Every structure is written in C-alpha cells, then in structure tokens.
Structure 1
Amino acid sequence: MEVDESNITFLPIQPLPTVQVPATDYDDHRDAHTPLCIDNGSTHLRFGFCTSDTPRTGINMVAKYKERKTNKPLLLFGEGIDVEGGARSQAKTPWEGDVLLNFDALENALDYAFIHLGIDTPAVDHPILMTERLASPLHSRALTSELMFEQYSVPSLAFCVDSVMSFYHNNLPSPPVPFRDDGLVVSFNTASTSVIPILDGKGIMSHAKRINWGASQATDYLLKLIQLKYPTFPSRVTPTQCNWMLQNFCEFSPDYPALLRKLKDPLNLRASERIIQFPYQVPVTEEKTEEELARIAERKKEQGRKLQELAAKSRMEKLVQKETDLAHLLSVRERKEEESKREWADTLREEGFANDAALEAAIKKLEADLKKARKKEADGEDAENEEPPSFPLVDVPDEDLDEEGLKEKKKQKLMKAGYEARERAKREKEREREERAAEEKREEEERDRDLSGWATKMRREQETLMNRIKERNRRRAALTDRKSAASQARMKSIANLAADDRVPKKRRKAGGEDMFGADDADWAIYRKINTAAASSDEEEDFAALAAVEQKLLAHDPTFTEEHTHAALSSQRSALMSAFRPAYDEGDPQGKARIHLNIERWRACEAWFSPSMAGIDSAGLGEVLQNVLARFSDADKGRLVNNVFLTGAPSQLPGLRDRLHATLRPILPPEMPLEIVRAADPVLDAWRGMADFAKTDEFKKVGVTRAEYEEWGGERVKRWWGGNWNASVPLKED
C-alpha cells in the first residue's frame, strides 16, 4: 500500500532522564521565611520559592530501589525511575485517581523537593502554600497537615485550589486593589474535570461540579481504541505513548455528528489520518539465484500436475464408488417386496439403517451427489459428440486373462465407468438446459405481466444471497479470534474428531472399528474446522447472485451498478481500507504503523459524552448547563463573559470552538460569551500561588503551628481560594 510519506510521524525515542542540579545557594532564603509554593499535581510535582520565576518540576512518582552493585538503598523520583529498569515495578504515586492516599510516597516526594531547593536545616522554616483538588476529603487535608507540621516543622500551612490560583494569576489585580474578578473556571486535570464559578473574586464552591474524566482516562480510552483497531500489533503500545499521541494528534470537533457524516467518505477519512511509525526490524531474506528460482518453479509445476492427476483419479474413484453404492441400495430397496416384515427389518439393520426413511434419505443423498458430480464432470467435456470408445476386455472372464490382461481389464472397467458417467452427465445437462429454457420463458412471461412484482422478488433474492455471503465472511472473521463462539465451536469439533459416538464405549476400548467417514456428512466437519478451505456453496451463491443482478440490470430501470454486491462491497472495502489500511505480509514497516483517523476526535469527544467510553457520568456540556442554571441571568452574564480554561488538556485544538457550540444555544442571544485560555495552562497555577504568597493576605489564610497544636489537622481557615469558604458548610465531604 502507498501512503503519503510526509504524513508519517516517527514515534520519538524517550531521551535519558535529565538530572536537575540542586540549588547551591540557600543563603538567599536562610532565615528569610520566604514562602514556599508546592503544586502537588497527579502527574507532576512543581515546587519553588515564591520569588522564583518558574518552579522546579518532576514527575510525581517515587520508587525505593537497591542498587545492584553496592546493594545500597536508593530513593528515585520522577524521571530518575527510568534509569533503573527494575525500579519501574516499585514506583508509587501519592494519588489514587483524584484522591491523595499514599502519604509515604508524598513524604518521599517532599523530601526530594526540599533537598533540591537546598534546604539543609533540620526544619523547613518557610510558610507553605500547597494545592489540593476540588472537594478533597477533610481527612486527606488533616493527614497532609500532620505530615507538614510533625515531620518538617513548617511555621504555617495553607491550602488552595490550583485552578482558582491559575485564574488569579491571569486576572491579577494591581495592588492595592483587591481581587474582585468574575469568571467560570473550567479546569482539565489528570483524573477529573471541574467547573468552578467565581463571583467577586471568590469561588462559589457550593455550586462547583466535578466529573471523573480527565487526561488519564482519555489516554486509556485512546489506548483501548488502538488495541481494538490493531489486535495483533507487533509492538506494545504503552500509556505514555498514547498520552503523546493524545497531546499531538487529538482535537475537539465543534459538531461531532457532522464530523462522522463527513468521514463516511473514504477520501475525507484518508485526508484526516495521522500515521505513527513504530520501530520495526527488517527481515533478513536469503536471495536465490535464477537457476534456483527456475528449479523451484518447475518443481512446483510438477507437484501441481501430480496433484491434479491424483485429484482427478480420486474424483473418478469416488464417483464409481457412489454409483456402486447407489446400485446396491436400490437393489436392497427392491427386496422389500420379496421379504416379510421381520426379514426386511433384519435386512435394514444389517445395512445400518434404522427404518425405511433412513434408507430413502441415503438413496436421495447419493442421487443428489451423483447429479452434482456428473454436472461438474460434464462442464469440462467438449459438447460435440465423439465416437464411443471400446472396452473389449470388460466382458472377458478373469480365467482367460493373464496378469497383464487383468490389469488392463481393471483399467478398462474404470475408463468405462467414467465414460458412462460422463454420458449420463451430458444427458442430465441437456435435460437441465431444457428445464432452464422453460424456466426463462416462464420468468419472461411473469416479467411482462408484473414487472414491479418480479423486480421485488429478484431484489429479495439478491438480499438473501448477500446476507448469506456476509454471514460466511462474519464467521470466517470470528474464527480468527480464539475467544469467539465460532472459534470455540471449531476447537470442540477438533477435539471430538477422535471419538465416534456411534461406536459403543466398550467396543472402542476393545479396539472396535471407528465408523467415522461411513456417512458422507462426516466429511463436512473438515469444512468447518479448516478456515482456509473454499466453500462450494459460496461459489454457487456468487454465481446465483451474479445471475440475479444481471437480470435486474437488464430489466429493472431503478436498479443500477451502485446497487450491485460488487459496488456495495467496494464502498465498504474502501471505507475499511481508509479506516485501517492493509499492508503486505512481507512489509514490516507498514505493519508497525498506527493510522489515527476517527480516534483523533473520539478520544476528546468523551469529555462531553463519557458514556461512549462506558462511564456513567454527565458530560462537560451538561455540567456547565447545570452550574449556570443555579445563577440569575445577571450573574450568569458575569460568569460567561469570562469562561476560563486551564490545565494541560485545555491546550488540545478545537476546545474553545466546542465549548462555544455547547454554551451558545443555552444562553440568551444578547448575552456575550467570551472563552479564554490561560497564558500557560501548565504552570500558571504555581505562578498564581507565587503571586498570592507575596501578598499580605497570605499570612492570614494559613494555619499556624500553634493553631495546629491546639486544634489538630482538621483546623480549616475559610478564604476565597480554598475548598472551604463562606459558600461551603464546614463539614467533611
């Protein structure tokens, strides 16, 4: 298959982790009580003094590991975990989804942060401003407070909501003007998405909402879509690689149903795809000389000729055997008139039949098989009359012949049987030709009498044949999946081939005769278990379908080439080929490619329709509508005039257009709608914390050590940037 090389993106190879250089000059902050800001995110830990321009960043994951050579225990954090191959299995994160649970990992992460900030004193003598999730449980804050005050002896600790601080940084007032801005904050986090209304610079937490869908769920969903699309992909696709694909290739669509209708065109689907090339190995093939290739071709040709001869001989022997069997059964049936009922029952039992119906069924089946075989033999013969051959030795007694004569007599018998079978087939074919002519005449009369009724009947016949062909293709595809019902039935058939229920168990143990193959229907099992075997029924269906479609094309003006099975199959094949292009078996480069097309929008659309990913939750559009419905039109206008997007996933293309298409229909036409994104959705939360930590108000919102010792870790101070303020009752979530 040919693809546009400019559309291929090679999967980046992750570089070695960069080791952050620890601060060498702590003297600037020693005894200065400089506030310390810690953005404890689910994915990254960002930390630094509020006087810094940018924070230090590390992946929020730790691993305790013993170095192999010295057997010394190591504490690895963030990117350093990838340096040691065995450390990945020991890695832990403080977060379980959107809840802070693993406080041992949090302690190790804080140790890393304080060491890299150069803090060399026994206690961390700096006020701490730390983030927490929207609607975090109170006991999680209490355990974090206990860790900070008991382990690190911090002078004060304050908690804030990261998205509110990002909004604060992007709407920073000029001192001494207090923070009084309005807006609707939509925060896209790793494990959740939250909506927080802000009026007069204060988060209305009682009206805030959160859905359990974030970047990690979108990444997992994209991974499942890729695994479903490429079940036999040669490389392992990791969540990290899927997250990279999500960030670089996925986007939101303003109208997802309209996009699906557009992508039904294979050309549009191919134009929208992005190709990711995974690493692959070029197979080493041994080149053969022309003489060797010629010898191989000649050997294959000779083998094919021998197989054809063997097949022809086998067919002839089977035909003769069936004729002999039919003659025998007919002679048995004639004896019914000559024998009594008891003798006839004994005869049927000796022949292996339960009753007269079984005998008649066997005779009809043999006649049908012979008719089919004779027709097939006659199709390969010349229609002209040829002089009948002679077989002089057939009627000569065996006693009058020597060994060579007996061999020749046997050969002539076989040739005579074949000749007679061909003659019968020719007569049968001539009779069928006459019947077909009569049928065509009747059909022509019916068509002249009622064209619409005839066309309706033909179309029903076409649909029946196409459904039969589809069902075979569906079963053939199901056999490739070892867990499917068809594949399980195939394995059961294979397992039962060795056992024949018609032979009693005791007789089988004693070495009794295996009766498998006594009935011609037994051999149909091989058609079921051999997935590569061609079906004669399928060939007949295709031939009948072609005949029906030719009649419709010739006589039905409403039936065109677009309605034929070939045209419909080519349309579906083109769409499937565009959805997942097929490469040659010997093309490892193509087999190691992932074609992203509809998945680019489907992974993002799950934010607005989590049900498509199997999540029983309201979508972001429904949450926004419910939040805005709690406010009056005046307050609602203040909120939607500044819809603020923050968080790393908010950088995905098309999000603002998608939100605009969601919000505009539920708002009055005259109400202005403004959607903005944070200047830096990733770091603005920490920068907002640093901005606030420099103000005098920061000193009033933190819980001091004395208050902790008196009231414990459950002590909460209400303020506009935290989870608990005047709009939220003070009780555990």
Structure 2
Amino acid sequence: MPNVIAKFKERRQNRPLILMGEAVDVESGARSQARYPWEGDVLLNFDALENALDYAFIHLGIDTPIIEHPVFMTERLASPLHSRALTSELLFELYSVPSLAYGVDSAMSFYHNNLPSPPVPFTTDGIVVSFNTASTSIIPILAGKGLMSHAKRIPWGATQANEYLLKLIQLKYPTFPTRVTTAQTNWLFQNLCEFSVDYTGLLRTLKDPAQMRAHEKILQFPFSAPTTEEKTEEEIQRIAERRREQGRKLQELAAKAREEKFQKKESDLQYLTTLRERREEENKKDWANTLREEGFDNDAALDGAIKKLEGHVKKARKKDTDGDEMQEEPPSFPLVDVPDDELDEEGLKEKKKQRLMKAGYDARERARKEKEREREEREAGERKEEEAREQDLGGWANKLRREHEAIITKIKERGRRRAELSDRKSAAAQARMKSIANLAADERVPKRKRKMGTEDMFGADDADWAIYRKINIAAESSDEEEDLVSLQTVEQKLLAYDPTFTLEHTHASLTSQRSALMQAFRPQYDEGNVEGKSRIHLNVERWRVCEAWFSPSMAGVDCAGLGEVLQNILGRFSDAEKGRLVSNVFVTGGPSQLKGLTSRLHSSLRPILPPEMPLQIVRAADPFNDAWRGMADFAKTDEFSKVSVTKAEYEEWGGERIKRWWGGNWNSSVQM
C-alpha cells in the first residue's frame, strides 16, 4: 500500500475525511490533496507521518491514548539527523512510547536472511546492495557490524526509474490518445523491464529490425472504436430519392433563373434598339442629352451595348435549340484599314480601340494555334510511345525506369548539397562563404557611387543570378520544379503499364517511408486505425531504464554508477577482507527482483576481483518484507533494549540522543 495521505471533504455528507493509501485513488477530488511523509529519502511532511502512524496503530489494534509498546523504526542510509529528532519528538510527545530505536532497513533485511538458527551472536560478512524507493545504498558488513563510514548511496531508485520510463514513453509517443499514469508505468517497470549483461552489445543486436521486433512488448490501451450507423435498404432508397428530388428542384430553379435572365436581356435589347431608332428623329443636341440620360457617352457606346446584347441573346437561343454553345464568330474591325485622314476625331478614337482589340484577338489566335500545335505534337509523341510500348513493353519500361532513377538521383544530389551547405565546416559551405566574400569585394561599381547608393549594378550580368542561386540555400530553381513534374509523369506511366512498378517504388513513397529500424522502434499505423494508435511498443526502453543504475548520466543524474561505487568501496579493504565481502553480495529491495540483476552485478564485479577470489550474489527471499522480519528478529534479542532510547533519556537529552549500534546510521566506526 502506498504511504500517501489525503485530507478530503466528502460532499454528500459534508464531512472531512482522511484517506490513506489506495483509498486516495478512489476519490478523484482527493488526488490533488495527496501528500507523502517523505520527499525522496528526507522526511518533510510530519502531519502526513502522524496520520500514517495513526492508521498503522489502529490497524494493529492499538486504540489507546498512549502506546505502551517499544517502537522500532527503519530509516534510509544517511538520513538527516534533524528528521530523526523530529520523529522522536512526535513519538515521545504525542504517543508517549516507552522506548524508540532506529535501524537501516537494508541491514535488517541482511540480518534476517543470514541469521543463524541457534541464538548465537551475529557475525556474518557481506556487502548489502539495497534498491530503495528513492536511492540505492551499498553497505559493507564485516563480522556482523555494518561499516557505515564506508557505505555509499546513489540518488537513483525505483521512483526515478519509474519517472524516467514515463518520460521515455511520452517522448516516444507525444500524441498518445490516452494519458499514461505513473501507476501504469510502475507496472510496466516491475513486469517488463530488466537488466542487460552488456548494454552496448544489446544495442548492437537491436540494430537489426527483426531482433528489435522479437524483443519488443506491445501494450494495448483502452480505446473507443468509431461506430458507423448502418442504414436499411429502404432508408438508402429514401435518401437517394430525396437527393434526386433536390436535384430536380435545383435544375428547375436554375432553368427559371436562366429564363428570367434571357427575358431581361431581350427586353433590354428591344429597348436599346427602339432607342437607337430615335436617333434619326431627334436633333443632335437632344440626342446627346438622351444618350447622357441613358448612361452612354456616344453612339459607339450604344452600338457596342446593342451588339453585345445581340450576341448574348443569339447564343442563348442557339443553346436552347441545339443544346450546345455556338461557335464564336471572328470579330470585324472595319476602321483598322481606313486611313486616318478620312476619319474625324470620334472615328480616330474608335480606330485606336479597334486596333487594340484586333491585337488582342490576334494574340489569342496565335496562342490557340500554338496550343493546337503542341497538342498535335503531344498526340503524335503519345502515338509513337504507344507503338514502342506495344512492340517492346520490357524495353520501354526499362527506359522509363532508368529515366526515373536519373531524376531521383538529381533530386537526391540537390538535397545532399543543401545538407552540406547547412554544415559550416563542409567544403560546399566554405565555397559559399567565399562567393559571398567575393561579391562583397566586387569592384565593378566605383566606391564613391557605392557609398552614395546612386547605382546598383547587381543583375546586369546573368552570372549574378547564377551566383545568387549558388549561395542561397532556400532558393528553389526552375529545374527542380521541372524534374518533379517529369518524375510524376514517368511514375504515372509506369504505374499504368508496368506491373512490377508499384506505389512503393514512387518518389513520394520512398521519401516518406521511414527506415526499417525506425519502423521497428515505433510502428506507424494508418490514420483511421484507432486500435493501433492506442498501443505502446516497448523495446529499447526495457533495458535503458535499468541501465541508469549503472550509468546515471544517461538519465541526467551527475553521479557514479553502481559498478563504479562497488569498485570504490571494495578498494578500501584488503584482499582478505574483500574476499569475505564478495563471498556474500546481498541484494534487496523491490527492484532487485528485476531479471538480469545478478548477472549484471557479476559481470561488473568479476573483472575487478582476482581470478581465484570466489564471488557469490544472493537475492533476498522476500525483498519487500524481509526488512520487517529482520526487525522482528532483532526485537526478540536482548541487544534491542540496549540500542533503544528510553523516554527518560529523551527527556534528559532531547530528540538528538543517539545510541551507536551496528545496524544504525551511527555506529562505533563513525567519528562524531
């Protein structure tokens, strides 16, 4: 059960509650109020410790105002003295315990697993490697005495490993649809992670995608599959009929709108024709006023509007009768060939306008004929290519494949050059900087004019733009665009006629396809595959998290690894004492149950020991509870009363009172 406390106010009955352990996860509102007595290995929240002690005593059946039993508590290696003093004050002042003793948990676990059967003095040798919640401690023990002055502690434990695994998963799956909790990563850490004997060699093995897939573990998280509502045949027919009815209505509305538009144009044409007939009946001044009132500047504007309306009406009538658009008739420009001296001022203006209109019409005709010529050439080329394809399909396909490969090679060369230019130490980047320096020192423009800024000669020569394209990395050349268009055309032909050329061989597929190793490291699923996107593939992370105990720097912790610390501790003893220690390397704590730990410790210790020196690594029988069993065994001995601080001694000396003994943080080997 996790040692966590939460003060929570229950809404239904409006009463305050104190939740302990797993009960905190039951109430969602209590999770934000959760507090741990310890932060790492340091006791900071004494209110939470008091609540935890109340919970423990009540579940032990001790429901009295004071505690009449001696208390034996464990503590981590090198715990701060002020934390012990405040804990002693809490137990003596609040619970009135008769005596209190402290012991290092890993030493108590070692005591229980090496306790001789008859009640004889404890004189076992060994070195304890304890994998704790927030740290890992190494304690040498000679003749049953813990040498705390030679002990070491690494600031890496199960909590840090769990957080490290969570960060690796979040980095690997930044858009994972489900929130991965610490409880889930804790389960993953305890059940799927393991130590590797040779982590570097393992990485070399996992470079093979097949090996990585063979070693991965796949976890399927809950997901909601998209539901599609199936319609009956009657509903489908009803929807189709409704759409056809809507289409008919839209067609009727469109026909009605076209008819109204046509009638409006006919009425406008009739009105303007009647208006033009009045030109012969009115004098020049009245006719000019009439044109001005109708919005026309002169007779030419009126004639142009009438001609335009006649064309629209004629085209609409032709479309209604034949069902197709009328072919455009070539316009006439009668004033273009008339000499200027035969025209008045209005005629000259109209001639200039017709000349511009004729130039535009001629340009459009030339463009149309050019398109016709290109279309004929393209059709001729397609016919020739089709004949070649029908005569020799293999040769035609091989020719296109070589062309396809050549274009892809050109595109890759451009990408490689961009990559080289991004590296300032490459030869291409240095040549680019040399070109820029030469441009800066260009002497074609006099110095006086360059200062005044009156003349800029850049662009006067085509070589300037060639240099610009050479030094500008981001500038895309027209050749690249043409290559992409040609590549797409070649791929479409190969996909249509070459059965051996599939979508996987196209440039888009090759550029977007991830490498086989990356695909094995994190498989990609289709956009609509909700089930696949809710999976976590663990492969390298299974060993990387555990490797942090031997290389904490890979997780961002600046300290020595477990193998280096063991070598440092063993180096302080003589060969005889070292042999006594390594003959019983005792590992305990929850993470000691992970696979491969004993093999990894053996591979780390064996090279630093003499070949003839025996090495034995032993795991605790019950790493989670052996510390409590060792405390229970030690509490039955006469030595327990000698290492306990009584209430009278506390009242005389205060909470800082310490008794040195072999299983505590302070023993006879420590200089105070």
Where does residue 649 of structure 2 map in the other structure?
707
Asked if structure 1 preserves the Cα contact closer than 8 Å seen for 2:333 and 2:358, the reply is no
Whichever residue aligns with residue 417 of structure 1, its letter is A
Q: Secondary structure at the match of 1:670?
A: coil
1:123 partnered with 2:88: no
In structure 2, C-alpha distance between the alignment counterparts of 1:665 and 1:656, rounded to whole Å: 15
Among candidates 614, 622, 626, match of residue 556 of structure 2: 614
Residue 584 of structure 1: how far off its partner (Å): 1.7
Q: How does 1:471-486 map to 2 (within 5 A)?
A: none
Q: 1:667 to 1:542 in 2, by over 3 A?
A: farther
Among candidates 250, 255, 277, match of residue 193 of structure 2: 250
Q: Indicate the structure with greater helix content.
A: 2
Where does residue 575 of structure 2 map in the other structure?
633
Q: 1:214 to 1:427 in 2, by over 3 A?
A: same
Whichever residue aligns with residue 628 of structure 2, its letter is W
Q: Which structure's CA Rg is the greater one?
A: 2
Aligned residue pair count: 473
Q: 1:286 to 1:155 in 2, by over 3 A?
A: same
Whichever residue aligns with residue 205 of structure 2, its letter is K
Where does residue 152 of structure 2 map in the other structure?
209
Asked if structure 1 preserves the Cα contact closer than 8 Å seen for 2:85 and 2:656, the reply is yes
Among candidates 85, 88, 91, match of residue 142 of structure 1: 85
1:50-97 deviation line (CA, Å, top 9, x unaligned): xxxxxxxx3211111122122222111111212222111111110011
In structure 2, C-alpha distance between the alignment counterparts of 1:468 and 1:593, rounded to whole Å: 39
Which moves more between the two structures, 186-195 or 582-591? 582-591
Among candidates 649, 655, 660, match of residue 597 of structure 2: 655
Asked if structure 1 preserves the Cα contact closer than 8 Å seen for 2:99 and 2:644, the reply is yes
Asked if structure 2 preserves the Cα contact closer than 8 Å seen for 1:391 and 1:412, the reply is no
Among candidates 393, 396, 403, match of residue 330 of structure 2: 393
1:259 partnered with 2:202: yes
Residue 114 of structure 1: how far off its partner (Å): 0.7
Q: 1:413 to 1:256 in 2, by over 3 A?
A: same
1:420 partnered with 2:370: yes
Where does residue 269 of structure 1 map in the other structure?
212
In structure 1, C-alpha distance between the alignment counterparts of 2:624 and 2:199, rounded to whole Å: 27
The alignment-based identity, stated in percent, is 69
In structure 2, C-alpha distance between the alignment counterparts of 1:606 and 1:178, rounded to whole Å: 38
Q: 1:124 to 1:576 in 2, by over 3 A?
A: same
Instruction: Tell me the TM-score normalised to structure 2 length.
Output: 0.64
Q: 1:126 to 1:91 in 2, by over 3 A?
A: same
Whichever residue aligns with residue 160 of structure 2, its letter is Q
Residue 568 of structure 1: how far off its partner (Å): 9.4
Q: 1:289 to 1:579 in 2, by over 3 A?
A: farther
Q: 1:181 to 1:536 in 2, by over 3 A?
A: farther
Asked if structure 2 preserves the Cα contact closer than 8 Å seen for 1:465 and 1:541, the reply is no
Asked if structure 2 preserves the Cα contact closer than 8 Å seen for 1:134 and 1:194, the reply is yes
Where does residue 450 of structure 2 map in the other structure?
none
In structure 2, C-alpha distance between the alignment counterparts of 1:689 and 1:609, rounded to whole Å: 33
1:223-282 deviation line (CA, Å, top 9, x unaligned): 111111111000000111111100111111100111111111110011111111111001
Among candidates 587, 592, 595, match of residue 645 of structure 1: 587
1:666 partnered with 2:608: yes
Instruction: Tell me the TM-score normalised to structure 1 length.
Output: 0.59
Q: 1:592 to 1:705 in 2, by over 3 A?
A: same
* Uncovered stretches (5+) of structure 2, i.e. residues with no partner: 245-326, 338-355, 379-406, 422-477, 491-505
Whichever residue aligns with residue 52 of structure 2, its letter is A
In structure 1, C-alpha distance between the alignment counterparts of 2:605 and 2:489, rounded to whole Å: 54
Where does residue 467 of structure 1 map in the other structure?
416
1:100 partnered with 2:43: yes
Among candidates 159, 164, 180, match of residue 237 of structure 1: 180
Asked if structure 1 preserves the Cα contact closer than 8 Å seen for 2:411 and 2:480, the reply is no
Asked if structure 2 preserves the Cα contact closer than 8 Å seen for 1:266 and 1:578, the reply is yes
Residue 416 of structure 1: how far off its partner (Å): 3.2
Q: How does 1:366-405 map to 2 (within 5 A)?
A: 393=330
Among candidates 638, 656, 666, match of residue 696 of structure 1: 638
Q: Secondary structure at the match of 1:64?
A: strand
Where does residue 260 of structure 2 map in the other structure?
none
In structure 1, C-alpha distance between the alignment counterparts of 2:43 and 2:486, rounded to whole Å: 67
In structure 1, C-alpha distance between the alignment counterparts of 2:157 and 2:664, rounded to whole Å: 21
Residue 461 of structure 1: how far off its partner (Å): 7.0
1:602 partnered with 2:539: no
Over aligned residue pairs, what C-alpha RMSD do you find? 4.0
Q: Secondary structure at the match of 1:136?
A: coil
Q: 1:230 to 1:201 in 2, by over 3 A?
A: same
Among candidates 112, 129, 135, match of residue 169 of structure 1: 112
Residue 621 of structure 1: how far off its partner (Å): 1.2
In structure 1, C-alpha distance between the alignment counterparts of 2:519 and 2:335, rounded to whole Å: 67
Whichever residue aligns with residue 124 of structure 1, its letter is I
Q: Secondary structure at the match of 1:179?
A: coil
Residue 577 of structure 1: how far off its partner (Å): 1.2
Where does residue 685 of structure 1 map in the other structure?
627
In structure 1, C-alpha distance between the alignment counterparts of 2:620 and 2:488, rounded to whole Å: 62
Q: 1:646 to 1:411 in 2, by over 3 A?
A: farther
Whichever residue aligns with residue 393 of structure 1, its letter is P
Q: 1:393 to 1:461 in 2, by over 3 A?
A: closer
Q: How does 1:320-335 map to 2 (within 5 A)?
A: none
Whichever residue aligns with residue 541 of structure 2, its letter is E
